Structure 1
Amino acid sequence: MINRHLRVVLAEDSVILRDGMVELLGARGCEVVATAGTAPELLAEVAEHRPDVAVVDIRMPPTHTDEGIRAAVEIRARTAEVGILVFSQHVETAWATRLLADGAAGIGYLLKERVARTSEFVDALHRVADGGTVLDPEVVTHLMRGGQRRRVVDTLTPRERDVLELMAQGHSNRSIAALLVVSERAVEKHVAAVFTKFGLRATDTDNRRVKAVLNYLAETKG
């Protein structure tokens, strides 16, 4: 999977950072098919090139507020097959919630200062391109705690909440067990409890792990 050739559109208003990222990604086997310095340019380049992944900064010209992530939401609505990796210094809770509202598959949100190695970033690109979800733990914390109406989540035990946050980051039960230093069976019980409290019944098609996170975000969205 890691060796898959990825086509990337890169949105970053800092020319120096943008050029550096193009060089780094190229050295890692990714093809940056276009770059953009503004949100309208990003939308145009994605529409033209239909990349595997669009890398998006949140704050872009002209107002440097939320143009980038607003464009990401629009890309998601227009071309759902294009993966979105938000790469920013900031956590924008309201727009991030909207970006995730229709499903977390193919969505990533990483904070620039917390990515220690280029390999981590490239791995995240591949995971997003393959339909996975990559959320920085700090982003998850903001999303989980940002609302004022924490109804179901307030019923979770501290351990169930820990498990839910790790689920939101894309970890498997085995990975969660290793991180929390508990048995995989214990994690399964916590996950089942989370599903029960959110009223998520087993079906053949629903991804309850994603829905457990998204239901909470929808609950606190307003």
Structure 2
Amino acid sequence: MRVVIAEDSVILRDGLVQLLALRGVEVAAAVGDAAALLAAVAQHTPDAAVIDIRLPPTQTDEGLRAALEIRRTAPGVGVLIFSQYVETKYAAQLLGDGGAGVGYLLKERVVDIGEFVGALERVAAGGTALDPEVISQLFGASRRATALDTLTPREREVLSLMAQGHTNQAIAEAFVVTERAVEKHIANIFTKLDLPPSGTQHRRVLAVLRYLEAAG
């Protein structure tokens, strides 16, 4: 797996490079601003980009806007936002754009490099990796009535764990139920969200994106 990193803190940037290298991840470029990030993605075509939200020159939302640009110009590149903050406006747009291969993790809540690399691998492979706190804030940003209102509390919990990248087996273990029970919940979610079987669309990803569009 080959990645680029955009992080303005030199210490954190160098630390990420070293930690990822120890896990066999190739860091093609590690940069400190959005312009350099876009140039690095265009040059190296990585599997994924790890991006902080607040980058120079304004230290506001340059990272998220760069991430949106990457999704537009290089949709095959996974995007993992790695920040101290939850920025609901652009995050909802990023996560609800109909694509896959997106993630959003909070720095202070990542305590295991193995879990971080696992999340990065899921994003690079076209899946999702979302911190529960990010999901909570995004979902709470809007109160519009949607098909999601028809989900039961347990179905919402299952969908939340799906958004975090958990497999059916992991969800079953979390709820101490069988995988068949989880499969039934997921089938109900697909039905309620009007996601019939398709040979060209990934229903699991679409369900997660529908969940996140509530914050759009």
TM-score, normalization by structure 2: 0.91
The equivalent residue for 2:8 is: 13
In 2, Cα distance between equivalents of 1:104 and 1:196: 20
In 1, Cα distance between equivalents of 2:86 and 2:116: 17
In 1, Cα distance between equivalents of 2:127 and 2:88: 20
In 2, Cα distance between equivalents of 1:19 and 1:219: 36
Structure 1 residue runs without a partner (length 5+): 1-5
The equivalent residue for 1:83 is: 78
The equivalent residue for 2:126 is: 131
The equivalent residue for 1:101 is: 96
Helix, strand or coil for the counterpart of 2:197?
A: coil
Aligned with 2:212 (options 212, 217, 222): 217
Helix, strand or coil for the counterpart of 1:110?
A: strand
The equivalent residue for 1:26 is: 21
Structure 2 residue runs without a partner (length 5+): none
In 1, Cα distance between equivalents of 2:201 and 2:134: 24
Aligned pair 1:40/2:35, yes or no? yes
What is the correspondence of 1:1-222 to structure 2 with a 5 Å cutoff? Answer: 6-221=1-216
In 1, Cα distance between equivalents of 2:204 and 2:100: 11
Per-residue Cα deviation, 1:64-108 (whole angstroms, up to 9, x for no partner):
111101101101110111121111111122212221223452222
In 2, Cα distance between equivalents of 1:204 and 1:8: 29
Shift of 1:194: 1.6
In 1, Cα distance between equivalents of 2:196 and 2:125: 26
Cα distance change on mapping 1:81 and 1:110 into 2, 3 Å: same
Shift of 1:174: 2.2
CA contact (8 A) 1:141 1:165 kept: no
Identity of aligned residues (%): 62
In 2, Cα distance between equivalents of 1:124 and 1:218: 21
- Superposed CA RMSD in Å reads 1.8
TM-score, normalization by structure 1: 0.89
When the two structures are aligned, how many residues end up with a matched partner?
A: 216
Shift of 1:219: 4.4
- Structure 2: which amino acid aligns with 1:203? S
Helix, strand or coil for the counterpart of 1:90?
A: coil
Per-residue Cα deviation, 1:43-71 (whole angstroms, up to 9, x for no partner):
11111121222110011112211110110
The equivalent residue for 1:3 is: none
In 2, Cα distance between equivalents of 1:139 and 1:34: 27
In 2, Cα distance between equivalents of 1:141 and 1:79: 28
Helix, strand or coil for the counterpart of 1:46?
A: helix
In 1, Cα distance between equivalents of 2:123 and 2:5: 14
